[in-house]
Chains A and B, each alone.
Chain A
Amino acid sequence: MLKRVAMGFAAASMALTASGAAFAFPERPVTLIVPFSAGGGTDGVARAFQPHFGEALGGDIVVKNTAGASGTVGAAEAASAGADGYTLGFLPIGPATIQPHLRQLPYGMDSWEPVCSVTSNPVVLMTQKDSPMNSLEDMKKAVGDAPGDFVYGSSGPGTIPHLAMAATEGQLGLKMKHVPHKGTANAMKSMAGGVIQFFADTPVVLSRYDVKPLASFTAERIPGLDDVPTMKEMGYDLQFSVWRGIFAPKGTPAEAVAKLEAACKAATESDGFKEFSAKTNTDILFMDSKGFGDFVKAEFEKNGTILEAAGLKK
């Protein structure tokens, strides 16, 4: 009841402001919900983005961490917040387009007004550095000769490393075991210890651990990894990226979304954020509200198909 009154009040005040000559936004700090704990990867990007985003918006941005259940708790909090543009979700691919396929959630694809994308990193297929396999062909032959003997790791069920490998297994017609881990670092320990042979993740992993790339899940070769063939070149329709973007709850006034979108664009072009991106190997990718919305929808459907084929879709 109280919530309904509050929402009514918000709607009324919004109607009043909207009827005014200029749309005054933001009039108070905007909360950016990061659905993972402070100090993690997504949190780091959000906090680096925060000052530039706030400056471009002409207001203050507050980052709030709400962690738990693969980011769905924070995403649900953002989705159910007042649709006034003052509460946004800073969501990566998982809680936005994968988790809704895996379980019953209090939000779905229709809960959002996508604002913009901020970063996107490609994904590469990798194996141990000292592995005798040096190409996708080697892998196909080795795994094809011993179905069920090779093991691929992931950073958890329903993560992009899992989806990319499950899709690879399907398209290449291979049979492998899947051993999920808690996070990429733990999977890399298993890789170094010889427990798993294959893994898929962003190229930054290549510089940190003793692994080598076999193929990239991109349309074009990745700059800096020019000798690594793409899955597309090899004849497989496999494309994956790890992206993060800003989502507003459904029903956020178009004026607010437009202002946020413009501020987001300016922030992704700021020198400070570019410097952060170079230091941390985070590729900036801005998409506007419309473009990002279409992209997210396509990702949602693609991931749903893969999960269904892998027998994970609920």
Chain B
Amino acid sequence: MEHVLNALDLVTTVSAGISMVVGTLVGIVIGALPGLGSVVALTVCLPFTFTMEQVPAITLLLGVYCGSVYGGSISAILINTPGTPQSAATCFDGFPMVEQGKADRALGWTTVSSVIGGLFSCMVLILAAPQLAAIALRFGPIETFALITMAMTCIAGISRGSMIKGLLAGVVGLFCATVGADPVTGDLRFNFGYFPLSAGLDLIAVVVGIFALSEVFSRIAEYARGPLPAVERSRIRLPSWSEWRPRLGVLFKSCTIGSFVGVLPGTGAATAAFISYAEAKRSSPRRDKLGTGEPDGIVASEAANNAVTGGALVPTLALGIPGDAITAVMMSTMIIHGITPGVRLMVENADTVYACFIALIVINIIMLFMGIVLSRGFTRILRTPEPLLLAMVVILCLLGAYGVRGNPFDLIVTLLFGVVGYLMRLFGFPVAPVVIGLVLGPQFEMSLRQGLILTDNSFLAFFGHPIASGLFVVTILILTLPLIRALWRRRRSDGSDQTA
């Protein structure tokens, strides 16, 4: 309790308050710009933190982090170009809603789901960080491999139209992930003697190209189609309780998935959003409408990706192990400010840790108000003349792709994947599985090969690990249930035919 009071003192200063508001605002705006994601937003703010006090510096970055994850969904919904890979799954239902003239409602669903997801994971972080960290430790390479295998099934879940095309796109994504240095031996693969390829294909460059640039290309191609329907009221419309009530199950499930995936180091918000979307697609009562502008899709994706924020801080704060690139940047800021993350952080810097907890809750509430205020401006984007809007998107995409690694080669990758994405759309291939393959690929390969080293190249030995075996069984069930269900239905209808 004493720590909580001390922490309250730390957070309720003017400078901490300003840094939370400014951080959230900067995060939302940068996150909303296509191509500029959480990492860019954090690195832009990083130099300012050097001269700040400890707690304001951390709260600034926390604000930027949470804000950017939420902000990414705004451009995903309004212009079908996810600002960050995390919000790629939000496009599936967000943009169709805009096409139906329901942009205000889509933004409302996103904002509320994001805030609830964020707050839920704060609670998880505060109440169960040490216990969850202990579970994370039980996830060795073999367990991680089993989990990633399960996550792969979401490729099937989100493949709209032809399943074969979706699976093929997933394989292309997995293949793209193998370009570059071999994670175990360091050998170069598929670089064709061309040096820049040895760095591999950058996720952001590919995502920006295949989602955002290809969207620009197809809009140019369909320019004659005319502008999008204008929103009746350029405002946000928060969903009512009667709309919420049937979706509480999806919401709760998505929050849980997001928090848990966040806890496991090396997975991240994009994975969480895809898994959660696939789960909604599998189990939601409105699953048949998913992908056509059904709020369930937005709730699943947004609650999950924002729930990752608190989850990813569990291993960061409890073990000193950053869950992703974003928490790694935050950790280095703590180190510069004289805080040593790691197993002794909770004991040695309890006040600061509690201050982080309180700040996270406050930031999520700030986000709600900002979403309401800012959406007035955001929906105006839809009234921007299309050529102007598309030109801006192209510039931002290239800026974002270059900004991640400062490597000019990434610009070529973005343009190429823009063309690839356009062709895929033209021929009815879903583009999301490519991104899922690329997101999960490195983890999939690394954990499999680490596991094989440990078991002396025996894959059978993987089944000796109970957690892994459990996950494998679930994976098989997820894959075969639709088949079993279909068979069951056919048999029942056969039976009824005979009696008739």
Which residues of A are at the interface with B, using a C-beta cutoff of 8 A?
37-41, 44, 47-48, 64-70, 72-74, 76, 102-106, 151, 156-158, 177-182, 185-186, 188-190, 192-195, 207-210, 276, 279-280, 312
Q: How far is the CA of A157 from the CA of B180 in the complex (A)?
A: 13
Q: A207 with B335: in contact, given A38-B43, A66-B407, A195-B141 (CB under 8 Å)?
A: no
Contacts of B405 on A, CB cut-off 8 Å? 37, 65-68, 73
Contacts of B141 on A, CB cut-off 8 Å? 179, 190, 195
Dominant secondary structure of chain A at its interface with chain B:
mixed
Interface residue? B42 (CB, 8 A)? yes
Q: A158 with B343: in contact, given A76-B195, A179-B454 (CB under 8 Å)?
A: no
Please determine whether B320 and A185 come into contact, CB atoms closer than 8 angstroms: yes
Q: How far is the CA of A70 from the CA of B180 in the complex (A)?
A: 11
Q: How far is the CA of A298 from the CA of B403 in the complex (A)?
A: 36
Chain B residue at minimum C-beta to C-beta distance from A314: B187
Q: How far is the CA of A48 from the CA of B50 in the complex (A)?
A: 9
Please determine whether A37 and B404 come into contact, CB atoms closer than 8 angstroms: yes
Q: How far is the CA of A40 from the CA of B42 in the complex (A)?
A: 12
Please determine whether B140 and A157 come into contact, CB atoms closer than 8 angstroms: no
Most chain A CB neighbours (cut-off 10 Å) among B39, B406, B450: B406
Chain A residue at minimum C-beta to C-beta distance from B452: A179
Interface residue? B420 (CB, 8 A)? no
User: Which one, B198, B199, B319, B406, contacts A192 given CB within 8 A?
Assistant: B319
A–B Cβ pairs within 8 angstroms, 24 of them: A39-B43, A39-B328, A39-B333, A41-B332, A66-B405, A69-B199, A69-B200, A73-B195, A104-B188, A105-B195, A157-B182, A177-B454, A179-B450, A180-B184, A185-B265, A186-B266, A188-B319, A188-B321, A192-B137, A193-B138, A194-B140, A195-B141, A208-B343, A279-B335
Q: How far is the CA of A247 from the CA of B38 in the complex (A)?
A: 32
Interface residue? B340 (CB, 8 A)? yes
Interface residue? B341 (CB, 8 A)? yes
Chain B residue at minimum C-beta to C-beta distance from A210: B343
Q: How far is the CA of A40 from the CA of B442 in the complex (A)?
A: 20
Q: A68 with B453: in contact, given A193-B137, A280-B336 (CB under 8 Å)?
A: no
User: Besides the contacts A48-B336, A70-B186, A157-B183, what 16 more A-B pairs have beta carbons closer than 8 Å?
Assistant: A37-B325, A41-B332, A44-B332, A67-B199, A68-B199, A69-B181, A73-B195, A73-B407, A156-B183, A180-B184, A180-B450, A186-B321, A189-B315, A193-B139, A193-B140, A207-B342
Please determine whether B137 and A209 come into contact, CB atoms closer than 8 angstroms: no
Chain B count of residues within 8 A CB distance of the other chain: 58
Contacts of A44 on B, CB cut-off 8 Å? 332, 335-336
A-B CB proximity, top 3 nearest: A68-B199, A208-B342, A39-B329
Please determine whether B186 and A102 come into contact, CB atoms closer than 8 angstroms: yes
Chain A residue at minimum C-beta to C-beta distance from B61: A39
Please determine whether A151 and B454 come into contact, CB atoms closer than 8 angstroms: yes
Q: A195 with B140: in contact, given A76-B195, A209-B320 (CB under 8 Å)?
A: yes
Q: How far is the CA of A44 from the CA of B202 in the complex (A)?
A: 22
Q: Which of B190-204 contact A (CB under 8 A)?
A: 193, 195-196, 198-200, 202
Most chain A CB neighbours (cut-off 10 Å) among B321, B341, B454: B321
Q: How far is the CA of A183 from the CA of B196 in the complex (A)?
A: 22
Closest CB-CB distance, A44 to chain B, in whole Å? 6
Contacts of A194 on B, CB cut-off 8 Å? 140
Please determine whether A68 and B43 come into contact, CB atoms closer than 8 angstroms: no
Contacts of B337 on A, CB cut-off 8 Å? 279
Chain B residue at minimum C-beta to C-beta distance from A177: B453
Please determine whether A72 and B198 come into contact, CB atoms closer than 8 angstroms: yes
Q: How far is the CA of A169 from the CA of B450 in the complex (A)?
A: 19
User: Which one, A38, A65, A103, A276, contacts B186 given CB within 8 A?
Assistant: A103
